[in-house]
Structure 1
């Protein structure tokens, strides 16, 4: 289905997603209304050909299939009540981290179709990873429309339990930062090994980029790909003995993901 969309908040994530939807043809500019109080951000959105407004004045007269809430979690309770006139006819899609569907039901009404989404920053270049969970009130048509919209920004996984959103937050939501830090560490190690900073940065970034693409496109299990690179008693084996000895890296990643998951739960309370 093609639908009419109201995008509430058009900061960096909202704007990047908007550009992806329009570029893919998933939605037409005339079918999008962006509500953004910041004049600079609002004008930036308007340059994409969509309608814009500084405030939700007259929102009750709008027709919308989907209202996308892309504001910071700490202001959501202040922003959301203005959109109650659109519920339950319109479904609501939230990318506000840590805000449970029960909060939307409390403010908008228990009969409101609500979808939670956890995107990540690579969505800005169409390489994102989005996890979504929909309550039982969301129709198959709306869920398919949401999937089409989000697919313009990357891959989408549909979850069967809202509690899994916290795990998605810990793995893919926060995950890019883990990878960026690994690149930082690999670059620093390369400099320490005698390479120039320019060469070290290119080597680190391209190695991670290439390995990630190979892992996705080869169809092989990551463990199998690791084994293919690792010659007995070779250089890779020497390095992996450090990373994998006593499950060092595995334990660190487990601890990091668990810390992020627990923090996501805390922020949702």
Structure 2
């Protein structure tokens, strides 16, 4: 788990709309960091058994708006297309002083405020949040107070580190790099295993070697203060096997070109989703 501060001081009610993988990971992180379950309500039409079990610990599952009224904080962890359908109902929980934290890809502060109202923080986490090792980038509307920003930071930091930006237009590139980035890393493990099989390794061994190499290298990168380029150079002996492979990966049509095109494609798609 990360070094996020405890959440016992936060007061509710806090409403989580959407308790799928990411919303569920956030909820687990909040409770692990000391947030009082009695301060939390969850809107999830198809709750997992794990989410349903939390109701026995004090969390209110699928309450009616009339039962809790306006909440202090609304966290929206819905898919963007679901938000278009259900967003209007969320407005019933939003008062003039409600902080609204959205983790929906490609959904702007203006569109969230238009549908729900409230003071909006737009954030983009990623899937390592499920193990407390995510990174989230957030941007706040002008109406968000310093105290509200601190609340948003504490809730987001429960699943990993948090970076704040002032320019919302950066969020499309953030989504392309860190939001979608874990899929690129998983693809690396997938293709490294495939290449190992092509080189003659048994499937099971190639898969294990690829998974452990990617996971271990990621942990080394996490623990080291050295730039990734330095770590790469440390593995590379002149004229050796790694150098031979890197000549291919770093060639004109290699990884640099592919990654630039991939991130550009994801950035364009994030902008399209906002329309």
| Counterpart among 21, 33, 58 of residue 24 in structure 1 | 33
Once the 2 structures are TM-superposed, how far is the Cα of residue 144 of structure 1 from its aligned partner?
1.5
Once the 2 structures are TM-superposed, how far is the Cα of residue 120 of structure 1 from its aligned partner?
1.2
| Counterpart among 8, 13, 27 of residue 22 in structure 2 | 13
Alpha-carbon distance in 1 for matches of 2:146, 2:231: 38
Secondary structure of the equivalent of 1:34? strand
Q: Kindly indicate whether residue 61 of structure 2 is the aligned counterpart of residue 74 of structure 1.
A: no
Alpha-carbon distance in 2 for matches of 1:20, 1:198: 34
| Counterpart among 190, 205, 211 of residue 196 in structure 2 | 190
Secondary structure of the equivalent of 2:110? helix
Q: Kindly indicate whether residue 65 of structure 2 is the aligned counterpart of residue 57 of structure 1.
A: yes
Runs of 4+ in 1 over 3 A off after TM superposition: 39-42
Secondary structure of the equivalent of 2:11? coil
Structure-to-structure mapping, 1:197-208, within 5 angstroms: 197-208=203-214
Once the 2 structures are TM-superposed, how far is the Cα of residue 46 of structure 1 from its aligned partner?
2.0
Unmatched 5+ stretches in structure 2: 1-8
Closer, same or farther: CA 201–185 of 1 in aligned 2, 3 Å: same
Alpha-carbon distance in 2 for matches of 1:11, 1:45: 14
Q: Kindly indicate whether residue 267 of structure 2 is the aligned counterpart of residue 261 of structure 1.
A: yes
Secondary structure of the equivalent of 2:251? helix
Give aligned pairs, total: 264
- Bigger shift: residues 77-86 or 233-242: 77-86
* Alignment-derived partner of residue 87 in structure 1: 95
* Alignment-derived partner of residue 3 in structure 2: none
- Bigger shift: residues 66-75 or 259-268: 66-75
Alpha-carbon distance in 2 for matches of 1:48, 1:128: 26
Alpha-carbon distance in 1 for matches of 2:101, 2:125: 12
TM-score normalized by the length of structure 1: 0.91
CA RMSD of aligned residues (A): 1.8
Structure-to-structure mapping, 1:33-44, within 5 angstroms: 33-38=41-46, 40=48, 43-44=52-53
* Alignment-derived partner of residue 175 in structure 1: 181
CA contact (8 A) 2:70 2:95 kept: no
* Alignment-derived partner of residue 55 in structure 2: 46
Secondary structure of the equivalent of 1:115? strand
* Alignment-derived partner of residue 5 in structure 2: none
Q: Kindly indicate whether residue 125 of structure 2 is the aligned counterpart of residue 101 of structure 1.
A: no
TM-score normalized by the length of structure 2: 0.90
